[in-house]
């Protein structure tokens, strides 16, 4: 698997699984009917942000994508944030872990002092376990912070890792 900067042409491969993940409404605080141009604008970042794709080097398939960016501006711009989407057809193969590791390397190289995830849905146990294994802690959980389509109101974690 190769992780590289996303090019504009990669969006066509990202959008189908991005749309599936967002439409499910289980893991992101995006509107479930997010339209394509808005999604592209939110995901395909210019510096100081960065968007990457994970590509199967044999088939050329895009397996997943991540975006990373300063979480705040001004006096809090030393903290990065990031978001991840792995094509469900390729889940559980280490793509999310590789994207997470790549993001941490980027954040360190860019001089960030920490990474903050603002909204990790408590019931997204796969993501929570992955981020904990990469050194993130749950700093707080917003009670009933997220309305899950089948579970109802669940907690929303703020997760944090110093670099």
* DSSP label of 59: T
Other CB atoms within 10 A of residue 143 CB: 10
Between residues 130 and 138, which has the closer beta carbon with respect to ligand COA?
A: 130
Run of H or E residues at 18: helix 11-24
Between residues 75 and 85, which has the closer beta carbon with respect to ligand COA?
A: 85
What whole-number distance in Å separates Cα of residue 95 and Cα of residue 64? 7
Between residues 111 and 149, which has the closer beta carbon with respect to ligand COA?
A: 149
- Please report how close the Cβ of residue 100 comes to ligand COA at its closest, in angstroms: 7
Question: Is 68:81 a contact under the CB 8 Å cutoff?
Answer: yes
**Two tokens at 115?**
């990474």
- Please report how close the Cβ of residue 98 comes to ligand COA at its closest, in angstroms: 7
Which residue ranges make up the site for ligand COA (CB under 6 A)?
21, 27, 84-86, 91-97, 117, 120, 124-127, 129-130, 133
- Please report how close the Cβ of residue 80 comes to ligand COA at its closest, in angstroms: 14
Residue nearest to ligand COA (CB): 96
What whole-number distance in Å separates Cα of residue 11 and Cα of residue 39? 10
Between residues 74 and 107, which has the closer beta carbon with respect to ligand COA?
A: 107
- Please report how close the Cβ of residue 58 comes to ligand COA at its closest, in angstroms: 17
CA angle 10, 111, 38 (to 5 degrees): 30
């Amino acid at each position: 698997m190769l992780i590289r900067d996303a090019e504009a042409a990669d969006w066509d491969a990202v959008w189908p699984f991005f749309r599936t993940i967002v439409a499910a409404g289980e893991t992101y605080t995006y509107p479930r009917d997010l339209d394509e141009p808005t999604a592209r604008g939110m995901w395909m970042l210019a510096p100081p942000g960065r968007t990457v794709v994970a590509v199967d080097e044999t088939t050329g398939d895009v397996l997943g994508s991540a975006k990373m960016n300063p979480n705040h501006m001004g006096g809090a711009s030393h903290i990065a944030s990031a978001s991840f989407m792995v094509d469900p057809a390729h889940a559980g193969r280490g793509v999310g872990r590789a994207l997470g590791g790549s993001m941490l390397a980027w954040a360190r190289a860019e001089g960030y002092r920490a990474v903050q995830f603002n909204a990790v849905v408590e019931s997204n146990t796969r993501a929570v376990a992955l981020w904990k294994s990469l050194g993130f802690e749950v700093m707080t959980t917003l009670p009933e912070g997220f309305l899950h389509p089948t579970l109802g109101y669940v907690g929303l974690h703020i997760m944090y890792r110093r670099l």
